[in-house]
Amino acid sequence: MHQRLTDAAPNGKDEIPRYQHKVGRSAVAFRGVFWYAVSLLVPAAVNFAVFLITSRVLSPEDFGVVALAVTISMLAVALGPVGFGEALVQRASLRADHLDTVFWLCISFAALVAALMYAGSQEIARLFGSSMLGILIPIFALKTVLELASVVPNALIVRSMRFHLVALRTLIATLISAAIAIAVVLAGYGLWALVFAQLAASFVKAVTTFWTSGWRPSGLPRLQALRELARYGFFACGNEIVQFLGSRADQALIGLVLGVRPVGLYNFSRRIFSMVNDVVSGALGTVSHPMFSEVQHQPDKVRHGFLVSTFLSSVVSFPIFAGIALVADRAIPLLFGDQWIEALQPLRLLCALGIISCIGTLQSSLIKSRGKAEWWFYYQLVSSLLNLALVIVFAQYGITAMLAAMVAKTYLVWPVAVTMTLRLLDMRLAAYARQFAAPLAAVVVMGAAVLLAREFTGTLAPAIGIAADVAVGAATYVMALLAFASRRILDLGGTVLSAARAR
């Protein structure tokens, strides 16, 4: 275990080092991708199994009311000082009083919002027309407290790029919450399986985050420390609010306009998308922020790392999301039951967003690591406000129409983020676009091959048909990618091997 950070800076005056590894930064970054991938792949598999079991037992209404309760809890988190955790990661010079100040700021806010959630739970339940929501909101206030309490130790783990600790924390939380969810749902307690699983995951993550970080609060908050973190921290907090508006506020608006069942169908689609997206983009996104921050004054290294990450994420994300959209009509009724067939088109539309989600994650990490958090804040703010406007206008026509409008909007405003990225990297558009060309062309070939093969496999049993789709798609994608970008793939493989040897 690393030396406790509070011991390294007992007076709040000594700087806390960012980087204490003996190997090169690129090796640490690739190792970080490995460990974070482990922390995503195993939990994703476990969570998928839990999701599979619960979705076959529970109804869209059950998923909808729990989704609304989680949304309200996460709104409370987003409104808090959680963005100051990013400020701790980004800041080049860090002291113990910075950590103490952010911790007590988070705890104070958590106590306030928990009290407000308890006091206003019945009014919120009446607003959404669900009495069960009034029972769940006070319970989920505990989740809010646990999430905010973990901001500082989590930031220290990310800052030091000790991603094996992230993996350990996530694995433990996932296994415990999964065991609880399966036991409760099989015992016949319905939606309480989802409730207890959520609380257990937050509790275990909080405990293991403090344990693995080795940090404990050692002093009182200081106004000077807050001032030093304020500029980046407030913009990062704004980003958290904007991200909430873009990722969860739509569920609240759907609940207000259409009711609990449509929220359940929408949440079902979003959960499948999120599980895949977390695996595909989560590792690169989490590693890229501290990595770009570490070399922010070395433009060539930033540019090279960004292009490699962009190409790699495109190679992985494009075929996965396109493949899910292709097989969803066979997979949803087979795996989850006919009650979820209404979620087919929403899921396909979310896959269209997934095609560029990894790219957006890397753009966000780059922009924020260069101290331009306000740029990303304003971009996300405008995008999220447009999303909310589209939800308000199109939700009355159903979630499919609403999502179609949101996807179209995302692709229309994305060039703004591209412009920000090119400006920071001092790069031409053609050099950036080349990272997507080969993966995109290979995906087009893959899709054509799968649709053609369905002329011959359309009458097969669903399970066999899905296996045929996957086999045809994977084979054609790999062959097409090698045909379009064999040299780039070989160079990337050499980089990974070099990083592994450096270990």
Range with top average pLDDT, 37-46, 355-364, 487-496: 355-364
Average pLDDT over residues 472-479: 95
Reported as a single tens digit per residue, the pLDDT across 301-357 is 777 778 877 888 888 889 999 999 999 999 999 989 888 999 999 999 999 988 888
**Which of 353, 359, 347, 323 minimizes the C-alpha distance to 442?**
323
State the pLDDT confidence band at 82, using cuts at 50, 70 and 90: confident
Q: Residue 16: phi, psi to the nearest 5?
A: -90, 120
d(CA 257, CA 401): 14
pLDDT attached to residue 464: 93
Determine the 3-state secondary structure of 93 from DSSP.
coil
State the pLDDT confidence band at 36, using cuts at 50, 70 and 90: low
8-state DSSP, 2:
P
Determine the 3-state secondary structure of 16 from DSSP.
strand
**Which of 448, 467, 453, 449 minimizes the C-alpha distance to 330?**
467
Reported as a single tens digit per residue, the pLDDT across 367-381 is 777 777 778 778 878
Please tell me the least confidently modeled range out of 106-115, 129-138, 288-297, 349-358: 288-297
Q: What angle do CA 94, 99, 105 make, to 5 degrees?
A: 135
pLDDT attached to residue 137: 95
Reported as a single tens digit per residue, the pLDDT across 245-280 is 777 888 888 888 888 889 999 989 988 888 888 777
8-state DSSP, 82:
G
Higher pLDDT pick, 304 / 200: 200
Q: List C-alpha distances in Å: 247 to 65, 74, 207, 244.
A: 17, 10, 26, 5
State the pLDDT confidence band at 227, using cuts at 50, 70 and 90: confident
d(CA 40, CA 33): 10
Higher pLDDT pick, 501 / 90: 90
pLDDT attached to residue 157: 81
pLDDT attached to residue 235: 80
Reported as a single tens digit per residue, the pLDDT across 142-188 is 999 999 998 988 888 877 766 666 667 777 888 888 899 999 998 98
Q: Tell me: pLDDT of 190 over 50.
A: yes
d(CA 482, CA 48): 31
Average pLDDT over residues 222-231: 83
pLDDT attached to residue 184: 92
What predicted TM-score, i.e. pTM, was given to this entire model? 0.72
pLDDT attached to residue 117: 94
**Full DSSP string of 473-490:** HHHHHHHHHHHHHHHHHH
Q: List C-alpha distances in Å: 239 to 40, 149, 157, 245, 487.
A: 23, 19, 21, 10, 38
pLDDT attached to residue 64: 92
CB distance 284 to 313 below 8 Å: yes
Mean pLDDT of the chain: 82
Above pLDDT 90, what percent of the chain? 30
d(CA 218, CA 97): 8
Angle formed by the axes of helices 373-394 and 399-425, to 10°?
Answer: 160
d(CA 41, CA 320): 14
Exposed/middle/buried for residue 136 (C-beta within 10 Å: 0-12, 13-18, 19+): buried
pLDDT attached to residue 470: 94
Q: Which residues pair with 94 in a beta bridge?
A: 16
Reported as a single tens digit per residue, the pLDDT across 125-145 is 998 888 999 999 999 999 999
**Full DSSP string of 347-394:** HHHHHHHHHHHHHHHHHHHHHHHTT-HHHHHHHHHHHHHHHHHHHHHH
Token digits of residue 415: 């060039």
Q: What angle do CA 315, 316, 321 make, to 5 degrees?
A: 115
d(CA 283, CA 158): 12
Give the residue carrying structure tokens 């949440």.
Answer: 267
pLDDT attached to residue 296: 54
Token digits of residue 338: 């006919």
Q: What sign does the dihedral 84-88-90-91 (CA atoms) show?
A: positive
Reported as a single tens digit per residue, the pLDDT across 421-458 is 888 888 888 888 888 899 999 999 999 999 999 988 87
Average pLDDT over residues 223-240: 83
CB distance 253 to 394 below 8 Å: no
State the pLDDT confidence band at 22, using cuts at 50, 70 and 90: very low
In 10 A of CB 256, how many CB atoms?
16
Give the residue carrying structure tokens 């896959």.
Answer: 351
Q: Tell me: pLDDT of 290 over 70.
A: no
Determine the 3-state secondary structure of 94 from DSSP.
strand
